[in-house]
Every structure is written in C-alpha cells, then in structure tokens.
Amino acid sequence: MTNQTAPTVAAGAAASPAPQQKPPLRLFLTILHLAALGVLGGAVFGILAAMFGTGLGLLFVFGIGIFVLIGLVYAFYGIGWFEIVRVRGLYGLGIADLQPRRRQRPGFGGWLRSVGRQSIDGRMWRALASFAIACVFGGIVLRLFWGLVWSAIYSFTPLFSDAEVAAAPFGNTIAAGWAPVLGILGVLVSAAGIIGLALLHRTISTAIVVPNREAELTERVRTTSAQREGAVRAADVERTRIERDLHDGVQPRLVSVGMTLGLAQQKIDNDPTAAKQLINEAHTSTKAAITELRQLARGIHASVLDDRGLDAALSALASRSHIPVHLDVRMDGRCSKDAEAAVYFAIAESLTNAAKHSRASETRVVVRTRDGNVLWARVEDNGMGGAVVQPGGGLDGISNRVLAAGGTIRIDSPQGGPTSVEVSVPCAS
C-alpha cells in the first residue's frame, strides 16, 4: 500500500477574529470552561500518561511501542488544536489554527520525519501547557464552587438548629450566632477566588497561546521559504517537461517536414506528381506539429481559465479526456489566478495519469469552495492504484505547484486502487 502526501504548507497565516462577547458573559463562559476542564482534565491526562507508559514499556517488544508513542503525538496535536480553538473562540482572538507538520519526503521515512517535527512543535507544546494550566484552575474552581455552596448553606445554620455552637472548618466549633458571618465570608472568598482564577486564566492563556511577533515572523519566513522552494522545483519540473515534449514530439516532426520539403524541391522539376505528394505529407505533418504546439502551450497556460473561469476550463479538460469524467464543480465566485491555475493543473495531471497508467474506466472530479476561503478539489479514479511521487514526475510537479500557491495536496493510492488526489489552495494565494 502506497500512501503519499506531498510537501504541503498551511493555507492562510491567520484566522478571522471570533465574535466578541460582553465582559460579564465572557467571564461566565470562562468559569464554565474551567469547570468543564476541571472535570475532564484528570481523565485526559490519565489517558496520556497511560499511553506514554505503555509506549515506553512496549518500545523494545518488536517496536510496538513506537506506534503507541506516535499515537501520543497525534493526541498531543489534537489537544493543542482544541485548546487554540477554545481560547480563540472564548476571547475573540485572531489567531490561526494549529497546523499539522506535513511530510516533505515520500514514503514511510518521510512520514516518520513529519511526526518527529510535530513532536517538537513549539506552538503545540505551548497550547498543551495552556490546557494543563486550565485543567488545574478548573479543579480549583470546582472546589471553590463547592466551598461557595457549603458556605451559603452554613450561613443558615441557626435556622435549622437550636444548638448554641456550630461546627466550623478544620474540626473547630464556633458560637451559632457567628455561623452566618462565617458563611457569608466563605461565600465572598469562594466567589472572589472563582472570579480571580477566571481573570488569571485569560491573562495566562492568551500570553501562552497568542504567538509573539518574533514567532510570527519566523513562521512567515518558514512558510515563504517553503513556497519559494516549491515554486523553484515546480519551474524545474515544468521546464524539463517542456524540453522533453519539444525534443520527443515537435522537434522530430519539424525535422521531418524540412526533409520532406527538401525531397519535394529535388523532384519538383523531374517528377511533379511525387513532389506534390511530398508537399501534401509536409502539410499534414505541419498541421500535426501545430496541434502538438497548441497542446504544449495549453499545458503551460490554459487561456480559457482566464477567460471563462475554472468551471469552463475543467469542462473543456473533461471533454478531451480519454476516459469518462464525472465533473461536479460548485464554486462561489472566482478565486485568484494562481489558486485556480494550481487546482486546474493538479486535476489535469491527475486525469492524464489516470488515462496513461491506472487502467481506470472512469474518474470523478469534485471542486468546492470551502469555509475559510479555500478552493478544494478531489480527483478519484477506479484504477489499479500504486501511484508514487517520484522526483521530476508529474505528481511531483503538481505537488510543488500547489505548495508554491500556499496550498496542500494529499495523494492516496494503495495497490489495487482506487487513487485519489485532494488539493486545498487558499483562494487569495
């Protein structure tokens, strides 16, 4: 089974701010969040600790533990993603989601490297720290809440008992007349503690989760470098393809035209009929060469894409396909030129591969505009599968082109099929 995920980069550098809540509502929601985390936090970290211990214990038992530890990394990522979404929604912060580290090389080794990079992702660990602190605060909030309830009930002790003394905390007793004072004081202290922890949680969580300016610039430089490298590699692959097509197709045909015209020139005086036949052959070869040049130019840039949009361009592409194509395109308006071009050529290369190598009898192409202003496409065929990303190959070319547009691509092609290619590109790329 061959599952290849090409080099990818996160689409979009920042998320749109969540709607702002009024301070009283935000404070109430923060207390609810802390209470819920106080209930669930112990179970979550208990499971994580069990996975860590099991992974270490089985590490030397046929290497089984490594898969448990890999699962632990994915669990860390899921918790970190949840924490960032929670804090962003609670406080209306304009911060991006936690993005997974994608593989930069094909194969199992490339996947392991991506897991290793994920395990040392600083943003993920900061989110985990924020989650852990929130769980600790939540446990304290729950105890303060029960203290508040107990104090409220305790303040009414004289109404339910005729005794002259009442039980007090820590095994002490006090005069029954002082019970309401102690109860009200307990209510005030507990409420103040709950509110104080909620306010402290906001300060700490936003300080931890929101990246500082230096981290943002570092991430932006990393993303820009990855996009530039992808663009360079895509240009190299495209140049190699053009050189190969010219050398193997158009160039020999034009050489043949020249030789045929030379023979016709020699025979035009002595054998006009043969010369006429040779000229007809040259004319036919010239038209074929023009067709090949048009196809080559279409592979470099599809003019219909600019004139009529991605839907029309894909319809024309499907009509030229050698195998039936079920096309389903639903877009809300136009995306940027680079985004549409990246998706178009990814689909075109996928259909070409399906026709040449997969022995598929049909393909399905789905294109959507998704939330977050992302252009998403999926191509699936019913062929024999086994597609592998090879340096300089067609899949490598579209992977680099999608990367250069700031998008992601996922290729799933197990032996026996089917083969699917999913592409996501930000519309504003």
- Burial classification of residue 358, based on how many CB atoms lie within 10 Å of its CB (0-12 exposed, 13-18 middle, 19 or more buried): buried
Q: What is the pLDDT of residue 13?
A: 38
pTM of this structure: 0.53
Which residue in 249, 210, 10 sits closest to 90, CA to CA?
210
Token look-up 């996975």 returns 51
What is the Cα Rg of the chain in Å?
33
pLDDT of residue 128: 93
Which pLDDT tens digit goes with each residue over 264-278? 878 787 878 887 787
- Which residues of the chain fall below pLDDT 50? 1-19, 165, 300
CA distance 81 to 78: 5
Supply the pLDDT for residue 3: 40
Please name the residue that has the structure tokens 């993005």: 99
How confident is the model over 333-364, as pLDDT tens digits? Answer: 778 887 888 888 888 888 887 877 778 888 88
pLDDT at residue 303, rounded to an integer: 60
pLDDT tens profile 192-224: 999 999 999 999 998 888 876 555 566 565 656
Domains and CATH numbers, the chain: 1-211 (no CATH), 233-300 (1.20.5), 307-429 (3.30.565.10)
Q: What is the distance between the alpha carbons of residues 377 and 48, in angstroms, rounded to a whole number? A: 36
